[in-house]
Amino acid sequence: MTTTDPTTPTLNQYGTYSGGKSTGSTTSNTKAPQTDADKTASATKGLGDNFQTFLTLLTTQMKNQDPLKPLDTNDLTKQLVDFANVEQNIGTNSRLDKLVQLQGAGTASTNLAYLGRLVAFQGDTFQYTNGMTQAPLGYELETSAKSVRVDILDAKGNIIRSMKGESTAGTKHSVNWDFKDNDGRAVQPGSYRMNVAPVAENKDDTIKATTYTFGTVAGIGSNKDGETVLNIGASEVPLSKLTTVY
């Protein structure tokens, strides 16, 4: 009589192992989150394991088939085609993962070129520093106006300079500020804001003005939505708001 060690697993009729005595102890492992590449590799391995199991079962069925009722080759062909399609899809995913990695590396390299550059972007605040020779400020009107006043305000919200602006729509107007107040005195370095106040022909109408300011890129990051942002002064400016690089 043949005896079987209760601690040894046995192969059952389904081609899998079962049985075996439990040791009474378990081990808990905390797994790190899988990357897309890890998932693709895992899927590839799983497909290979399943295909080998499929071949084993197929061979067993063919050996034990009833000669009077042979195995249906249509089902066999369909399953082989399904395996081929899955393998092709996994291969495509693997190539896409590599393309995404290359694109990310290229984007990061391009973004680094903004560091230390003077840029213009949609906004209204800016920093004035000693030695600055240009202030690429500007605005664009939604519709033409009767008149436009451009104000420069200090960090406390006080208007220190007022200038007459262009009133036509459909084009970007430049604001030429010489870093002086209304009395002709040079302003101190610091934070300033530009406000554009258009006056409509009809006093009851309002005209929207889009303002453009400037700054030097000190850093690059991303926001909660994954969009690239440029650190300019105390602001985080989305890359999509950028209009000019000097």
Angle between helices 73-112 and 36-63 (to 10 degrees): 170
For 118-245, the fitting CATH number among 2.70.70.10, 3.30.300.30, 2.40.30.10, 2.60.40.4070 is: 2.60.40.4070
pLDDT tens across the length of the chain (246 residues)? 444 455 444 444 444 444 544 444 444 455 555 555 566 566 555 555 666 776 676 677 667 666 666 666 666 667 766 766 766 766 666 666 555 554 544 455 678 889 999 999 999 999 999 888 888 999 999 999 999 999 999 999 999 999 999 999 999 999 999 999 999 999 999 999 999 999 999 988 999 999 999 999 999 988 888 888 999 988 899 988 999 998
Cα(195)–Cα(191) distance, rounded to whole angstroms?
14
User: Closest Cα to residue 126, out of 184, 196, 212, 238?
Assistant: 212
Determine the straight-line distance between the first and last CA of the chain, rounded to whole angstroms.
91
For the beta carbon of residue 49, count every other beta carbon within 10 angstroms.
Answer: 10
Domain borders along the chain are 118-245
- DSSP characters over 30-56: PPPPPPHHHHHHHHHHHHHHHHHHHHH
